[in-house]
Amino acid sequence: MARRRNTPPAGNTPPAANTPPAAATPSAGNTPTSTPGRTTRSRSIPPVPTPVSSTPGDISSPVSSPIGNTFSSPNNVTSSVRKRGRRGMETPPPPPHSRFAATPDGSGIGGSGGGGGDSPPDTSTPGSGGNGPSSEGEDAEAYEAPPMYVWGTSISVQDVNAAILRFLKHFREHPSHDEGKYMKAIDSVIEMEGESLEVDANDVFDYDNDLYTKMVRYPLEVLAIFDIVLMDMVSRINPLFEKHIQARIFNLKSSTSMRNLNPSDIEKMVSLKGMIIRCSSIIPEIREAVFRCLVCGHFSDPIIVDRGRINEPTMCLKDECKTKNSMTLVHNRCRFADKQIVRVQETPDEIPEGGTPHTVSLLMHDKLVDAAKPGDRVEITGIYRAMSVRVGQTQRTVKSLFKTYIDCLHIKKTDKSRMNAEDPMETDESSTQNEQGIPMDHEQLVEKLKELSKNPDIYEMLTRSLAPNIWELDDVKKGLLCQLFGGSALTLKSGASFRGDINILLVGDPGTSKSQLLTYIHKLAPRGIYTSGRGSSAVGLTAYVAKDPETGETVLESGALVLSDRGICCIDEFDKMSENARSMLHEVMEQQTVSIAKAGIIASLNARTSVLACANPSGSRYNPRLSVIDNIHLPPTLLSRFDLIYLILDKADEQTDRRLAKHIVALHFENPENSEQNVIDLQTLTAYLSYARKNIHPQLSDEAAEELTRGYVEMRRRGNFPGSSKKVITATPRQIESLIRLSEALARIRFSEWVEKKDVLEAFRLLEVALQQSATDHATGTIDMDLITTGVSASERMRRDNMVGLTRNIIMEKMQLGGPSTRLLELLEELKQRSGNSELHLTDLRNALSTLASEGFVVVHGDSVKRV
């Protein structure tokens, strides 16, 4: 005894061997005839204490299956059949020898009846009954044994058997395929000497709805039959194939959340998602034990685990010896199987507010052991089981508790970390599915998104939903929205490619929430890297060659830009970046590749990334006396690669201040739900975004193309303003590309396949607003600070346009060309009368006049206006 305890594998097993088996199991379980009854009980009322059944042996019975092939005794086939029968079954099978007699050839489907314990008590010889026909019968349909039912239900074993066979033989993914999907799969499993066949539950559902329902509701029984059918088929295809093949079901139609598992799910097939938090060490579980007599050295026949325990022979079986209590376990002749207990926890998104994550235990066997590591996100399919908590024999009280766990059938890693995803958009798509729970919802989601896109207001709505806590800056947000949606990349046959990514530079005074915008976009973008310019070196951004310390080989390590391929690379403090590092961006931003030529590695890596950079003006604050270019102070080569350059200037403006004040007061006193009802939540926004990026590829309409040409020509002309020299950002062919990209993005926002004229117009507007171009005096290249209207809303702009028009009319009527000047106050009075709005302010008028002045229509001198 003592010796046995000291050896590791025995640690798990010997206690079982020592106790008389009958003590723990209800006596009913001991004779084969009563087996069916027991199965049944466990089926209808799941967790009866009978679940002695749920003692280790039974739960882990699948473990035993693969061993059939390592064990080459004459009865190997039989033993594997037996195990098949038990696979996943809660009920212990009848003692092996009874099975022996029942299914001598091992291929009998009838074995399933006995093995699965599915035969009703009256068919006392299911084995022999099923044997004959099955061995010659080609199809299960031809099966003629007396009907057997899954206990407590009207599910006929034969029917299920036939249904499974039909499914395996005839299911085709596509009508045009000649060979069934699973027949092919079985062939390949045989070829690979695999141990399991993965069965997509969706296929089962599509092929035979009824079978699917049965499988989910009575997984123990149906899976047992499934395995037997599989084995049967395999042995017919290749009689020499000895391995046991298990069916691994995955991809159920509906998955539950851990939180919603309840008593009614016990003994049902469930599928859930979670994160693995802990794996136990691998537990070797004894399957077959061999004993040796200490006196005569006689080895016993292998004793198979029965209901989780080994019946230690009390005396030597050798006729000459017959010594009592002399048998000892021989470890290295026993067979063990792997078992592991894994704990899975809810993923953060499933946890309701004010709750802590739930966990559930998983039982893994064989191949599933170590299939996933702590930290992995997984999708599990398994059978939910409950096991009564047993109280020691000394205690009289009965515990009424159950421990629950999932007997794992299939595990799928769903590693959705943004970086590892093959296609970021794809991932996002599926992760939104995940949130919805069922893939079916995908269609609903798409419908919902399409519905959303029909909203005439969608552009404004999305703008509002973008970083709602960053206040104002509407136009900047619109630009960022365009960046998120992106234009379509185009590769011509000639090999020339045009990027679809939009690059944006934010230049602005300190404290104008640039960095906040950046972090927000970083969070929202399908994939992205956030770096700070000051801390980034050229190689850190692109790629560098490093020596692997172990092998000494040179390896290429990707930098931030490469890592954010197909995403957005956010660079903060762009101006503080070293010249060297910044120059690396030239290639990335136009060619979208990173080329490396060093240490014998010459490579060109994809870096199809949008760059979102932000910088302070040179000298930290914007200096209105300097030109825009001088203020930004970045090389024009780099500047021209940005599609949109936003000047975010902090300017004293009573209206902005008032809006800020209003905003804050509202924050404190209004019900936030009411005030922001029109905002799309982050999840929908992400879903919308990824759907648009994936499915919408807008093209330019003729009308739009015309508008583009016209606008571009005008821009060029404006750039040629006499005396402008190089102080103004002039339009280059790059600009027209930007405009195309922007208009495409705008069309995408509407889920429109065509770029329309209004998109182009908006693109022009965005471009203009971006650099405050409307406020730039083209003569000097400086910005008239009074004109800066960052983030003016559309209505406000309309109002201002009206003002300008109205003022122009008044001046046209009242004043002579070159005539005497008029005082501003008089004009204001007139304006008030005409507009019928007495709330007009002098500043409004001044704004209007300065617009007119920039057109060369009037000259403003202090308080007087003169028409020229």
Partner 1 sequence: MVGRQYDCLTNPLGAVRFTFDKAVASGSDPASFDRKDWGVADIFRDFLFDNDGLAQVPILTPSTLHVVQPNSLVRFRGMIQDMLGNEFYVGAYKNEETWNTNKFSDVAQFPMGPSPDMRVWERRLLYCVPVPGQNTWADSASEGVIHTYATSANREKRQRETCSVSDEMDIQDSSNETPNSPRAKKMREGESVPQENMTDATDCSTSMAPEFDRNSFPCLVKIYDTPESDLKLNDVFEFIGVLMFDTDVKDDKHGENEMANCFDEEESVNLPSSKVPRLHCLVHRKLSVNDMISISPTMEPKPELLRGIRDSLLRHLTVVLGDDELAAHFMLLHLLSKVHVRVDSVAVGKLSFNLSGFDKSSISVFGNRINDAIKNLLPYSQRMPLTVDYLNTASLAPVKDYQTNRLVPGVLQCAEGSHLTVDETPLQSGTLNNNGVENARLLKDLMDFQKVEYDFKYYKMKMDADVQLLILSEGKSNILPADIVLPFHPTAVGPLGNVDAETLNAWRWYLATLRSLTYSIGTEIQKVVEDDMVSARKVDRSLGTEDFNRWLTMGRLMSVSYGEACLSNEHWQMVKEMERLRKERIK
Q: Which of residues 32-51 bind partner 1 (CB under 8 A)?
A: 41, 44-50
| SS3 of residue 106 by DSSP | coil
Nearer to partner 1, 73 or 397 (CB): 397
Nearer to partner 1, 41 or 82 (CB): 41
Q: Provide the sign of the torsion angle of the four alpha carbons 860, 863, 865, 866, taken in this order.
A: negative
3 state DSSP class of 537 = coil
Among 348, 456, 549, 723, binds partner 1 (CB under 8 A): 348
Q: Which is nearer to partner 1, 393 or 816 (CB)?
A: 393
Q: Does 390 bind partner 1 (CB under 8 A)?
A: yes
What is the pattern of x (binds partner 1, CB under 8 A) and - over residues 462-501?
A: ------xx-x------------------------------
- If you write DSSP's letter for every residue of 504-531 in order, what string do you get? EEEEE-TTSSHHHHHHHHHHHSSSEEEE
Q: Is 672 in the site for partner 1 (CB under 8 A)?
A: yes
Alpha helices, DSSP H, located in 7-87: 14-18, 35-44, 56-59, 61-64, 76-86
Q: Residue 151 Cβ, how far from partner 1 at the closest point, in Å?
A: 11
Amino acid letter for position 685: L
Rule CB under 8 A: say whether 658 interacts with partner 1: yes
350 or 759: CB nearest partner 1: 350
Q: How far apart are CA 39 and CA 307, in angstroms?
A: 13
Pairing of strands 504-508, 610-615: parallel
Q: Of residues 369-388, which lie at the interface with partner 1 (CB under 8 A)?
A: 374-375, 386-387
Number of CB atoms found within 10 A of residue 93's CB: 24
Q: Which of 143, 250, 402, 459 binds partner 1 (CB under 8 A)?
A: 402
Q: Phi then psi for 714, rounded to 5 degrees? A: -65, -40
Q: Which amino acid is at 592?
A: Q
Touching partner 1, residues 76-115 (CB under 8 A): none
Question: 603: helix, coil or strand?
Answer: strand
* Cα-based distances in Å from 536 to 410, 540, 541: 44, 6, 7
**Residue ranges in 403-462 that form contacts with partner 1 under rule CB under 8 A:** 403-405
Neighbours of 303 (CB within 10 A): 20
Residue selected from 278, 324, 586, 841 as contacting partner 1 according to rule CB under 8 A: 278
Q: How far is the CB of 627 from partner 1 (least distance, A)?
A: 24
Give 674 or 725: the residue with its C-beta nearer to partner 1.
674
Using CB atoms within 10 A of its CB, is residue 619 exposed (0-12), middle (13-18) or buried (19+)?
exposed
Minimum CB distance to partner 1, residue 290 (Å): 20
Structure tokens belonging to residue 124: 């006392």
Q: Which two tokens stand for residue 701?
A: 């309409």
> Do the beta carbons of residue 189 and residue 235 sit within 8 Å?
no
User: What's the closest the beta carbon of residue 461 comes to partner 1, in angstroms?
Assistant: 17
Q: Please identify which residue in 69, 125, 213, 361 interacts with partner 1, judged by CB under 8 A.
A: 361
Residue 360 to residue 727: CA distance in whole angstroms = 67
Options 32, 36, 56, 106; binder of partner 1; rule CB under 8 A: 56
**Read out DSSP for 595-636?**
EEEETTEEEEEE---EEEEEEPPTTSS--TTSBHHHHH---H
- Which of 550, 654, 702, 813 forms a contact with partner 1 (CB under 8 A)? 654
Work out how close the CB of 799 gets to partner 1 at its nearest, in angstroms, rounded to a whole number.
20
Least separation in angstroms between CB 31 and partner 1: 16
Tokens matching residue 725:
């020299």
Q: Where are the alpha helices (DSSP H) in 208-312?
A: 209-217, 219-237
Number of residues that bind partner 1 (CB under 8 A): 83
Asked if 399 interacts with partner 1 (CB under 8 A), we say yes
Contact 234, 107 (CB under 8 A): no
Which position among 72, 73, 176, 395 is part of the footprint of partner 1 (CB under 8 A)? 395
> Which 256-275 positions form the footprint of partner 1 (CB under 8 A)?
259, 261-263, 266, 275
Q: Are 379 and 273 in contact (CB under 8 A)?
A: yes
Q: Does 515 help bind partner 1 (rule: CB under 8 A)?
A: no
| Structural contact between residues 294 and 411, judged by C-beta atoms closer than 8 angstroms | no
Residue type, 227: D
664 binds partner 1 (CB under 8 A): yes
Q: Which structure tokens are listed for 388?
A: 């009564």
User: According to CB under 8 A, which one of 4, 9, 24, 156 is a site residue for partner 1?
Assistant: 24
Which of 181, 273, 309, 727 is close enough to bind partner 1 by CB under 8 A? 309
Shortest distance, position 676 Cβ to partner 1, whole Å? 8
Which three-class secondary structure state does DSSP give residue 387?
Answer: strand
Q: Which of residues 153-172 bind partner 1 (CB under 8 A)?
A: none
Q: Which of 4, 343, 448, 758 is close enough to bind partner 1 by CB under 8 A? A: 343
Q: Which residue number, 361 or 850, has a Cβ lying nearer to partner 1?
A: 361
| Interface residue with partner 1, options 359, 773, 821, 835 (CB under 8 A) | 359
Residue closer to partner 1 by CB (options 302, 357) is 357
User: What number of other Cβ atoms are within 10 A of residue 57's Cβ?
Assistant: 24
**CB of residue 349 to partner 1, shortest distance in Å:** 10
